[in-house]
A and B are shown apart, each in its own frame.
Chain A
């Protein structure tokens, strides 16, 4: 939706609150709508992975990962892979890179970096105790065949109580049309993932 405030392109001055009649009129005018558009929500239940095979048509995507737990007590890393064939397969070559910082609630902070990863690894760890891990992630250029795919993220890792922030790259310029969120072993006992398009 275009902005409706007081600036030159505004349709109607507002502070972000609208009356029902204004909403009806703006809908009629085609000026009503959100700027984050939910594409798909998936909930894990003893799942090996969460696959998003519909990315809509956006240059920037936003994803939230919430309430993630593992099916076993073994600590597992939750990562992402991209697909260029609509989800028939997911890229697992060493074309991913990462650079993120880990802040520990007690202990030493750490730089995590690599120029040769087989996934965007990782957003957080999980296990099966009563604490869950969560993250938000921005993906850039996924659907642009001439650009690399980037991600920036921040997360809370409940296995050890860390926060992570940083970035990942899939350093191949090609069209990505599916995303997979997965643990590096066992399965996802719980987890809710929402994929949004950032409206253009």
Chain B
């Protein structure tokens, strides 16, 4: 028996700019793992796939309470740091610009304490994408500086008009011994 428990698997349908994955965070686990694979766009206009949390009322959190810091690693050019202390999402959480297949993006991330009402929701993420002929890796950290209980998250096309074509998002809970 694995200590990694599959909670949800969502397949992104073509033509959507947001994908809500709800009712995945609960009191049963403190730490969650997300494996997102093959996120691509309709057409060759790229977009940045972001993450927003969803609270227990089902509301998508879009206030400027997100902070992040990540390193963007291109195969063809100098690496760059990117950070923010007041963003409305975890920018590029699922990768730095995804594109039309075969240029898509994949990542693995961890979410800490999203359901807790006494702790911020923290994240660590690492991704690799191919986009517009470029190959770009990324590793970063993020936080939602709210103590409200989060029960899900949204995968979001940052441009809102460059919809996703496909991809899968699997959410796991890490076993808790009590």
Report which A residues bind B (CB closer than 8 A): 1-9, 13-18, 23, 32-36, 59-60, 97-101, 111, 113-115, 138, 140-141, 144, 146-148, 150-152, 154, 165-169, 171, 173, 198-200
Contact of B79 among A8, A99, A114, A138 (CB under 8 A): A99
Most chain B CB within 10 A, of A7, A141, A167, is at: A167
Contact of A152 among B3, B7, B126 (CB under 8 A): B126
Are A17 and B74 in touch, CB under 8 angstroms?
no
Cβ-based interface call for B108 (8 A): yes
The docked-state distance in angstroms from the alpha carbon of A23 to that of B102 is 41
Cβ-based interface call for B23 (8 A): yes
- Among B44-52, B128-136, B141-149, the stretch that binds chain A is B128-136
Contacts A4-B5, A13-B28, A150-B106 hold; do A113 and B101 have CB atoms under 8 A apart?
no
- Among B57-65, B86-94, B170-178, the stretch that binds chain A is B170-178
Are A152 and B127 in touch, CB under 8 angstroms?
yes
Cβ-based interface call for B26 (8 A): yes
Question: What residues of A have a CB within 8 angstroms of the CB of B127 in the complex?
Answer: 152, 167
Contacts A16-B176, A152-B108, A166-B137 hold; do A59 and B128 have CB atoms under 8 A apart?
no
The docked-state distance in angstroms from the alpha carbon of A165 to that of B125 is 12
The docked-state distance in angstroms from the alpha carbon of A120 to that of B170 is 26
The docked-state distance in angstroms from the alpha carbon of A144 to that of B8 is 22
Are A97 and B79 in touch, CB under 8 angstroms?
no
The docked-state distance in angstroms from the alpha carbon of A101 to that of B136 is 12
A-B contact pairs, 22 of them (CB 8 A): A1-B5, A5-B173, A7-B24, A7-B26, A13-B28, A15-B176, A16-B29, A35-B4, A35-B5, A60-B106, A99-B75, A99-B137, A115-B135, A140-B106, A146-B101, A147-B102, A148-B104, A151-B128, A152-B106, A152-B107, A152-B126, A166-B137
Contact of A59 among B8, B78, B168 (CB under 8 A): B168
Question: What residues of B have a CB within 8 angstroms of the CB of A8 in the complex?
Answer: 23
Are B101 and A99 in touch, CB under 8 angstroms?
no
Are B29 and A5 in touch, CB under 8 angstroms?
yes
Question: What residues of A have a CB within 8 angstroms of the CB of B104 in the complex?
Answer: 141, 147-148
The docked-state distance in angstroms from the alpha carbon of A144 to that of B39 is 13
Binary interface encoding of chain B residues 1-40 relative to chain A, with 1 for a CB under 8 A from any of its CBs, else 0: 1111111110000000000000110111100000101100
In whole Å, how far is B132's beta carbon from the nearest beta carbon of chain A?
13
Are B2 and A16 in touch, CB under 8 angstroms?
no
